[in-house]
Amino acid sequence: MELKAIPTTLTELPDVLRVIEGTLNLDTQEDSTALSVLAGLKYYLSLEFARQQPALALLYDLDFQVTGVRPGSRHIDFKIWVRLKKRVRTALVAVGKEIKKAGVVACIATALAIPGAINETEKLLQRLPEPTQQRLQLDVPQCSPSLTFNEIRVPDERDVFPSEPKHFEF
């Protein structure tokens, strides 16, 4: 998969860096177990993201949304937007567009090695599932959680960025 390269000098940080689509498969019929494992998945992915790329984790959150639940053993489809943190967006707006373009973002980005990290984001995100799955399997071995990232890509017209999270019931 070829990704659009980000210039080494940034004047703006992308609002949504990448989109991850995936599935969490659980061998359980219990809704409470599925909800607990889903909460653990969100937690462990966020921890692993911060561990593997602390500079990006200062600026970006993993905005996790469930897109569907399939019957049988639980198959929970999800989408994650690697989205610029609200406080970062607010701070950038506060400094004003002219100042921002004059180099504030470029200085921050260079100091944190953000351009290189952004260009390597796909590789970083491909390394998130395995340690996350291992931790989930240690926590809930009775339902054998398995995690699959079906796609990691730049955002496009398929993506609608919800302001409020959707809540699914099993």
Q: Is residue 46 part of a domain?
A: yes
> Given the structure tokens 């496009």, which residue do they identify?
156
Checking if the pLDDT of 67 tops 70, the result is yes
Tens digit of each residue's pLDDT (9 = 90 or more) over 91-141: 777 666 555 555 666 666 666 666 666 777 788 888 889 999 999 999 999
CA distances from 13 to 6, 7, 8, 44, 105 (A): 10, 11, 12, 25, 7
Q: Is residue 161 part of a domain?
A: no
Q: Is residue 39 part of a domain?
A: yes
Q: Is residue 1 part of a domain?
A: no
Q: Is residue 160 part of a domain?
A: no
CATH number for the domain spanning 50: value is: 3.30.70
Band (pLDDT 50/70/90 cuts) for residue 165 is: low
Structural domain range at position 117: 16-152
**Domain count of the fold of the chain:** 1
Q: Is residue 64 part of a domain?
A: yes
Q: Is residue 2 part of a domain?
A: no
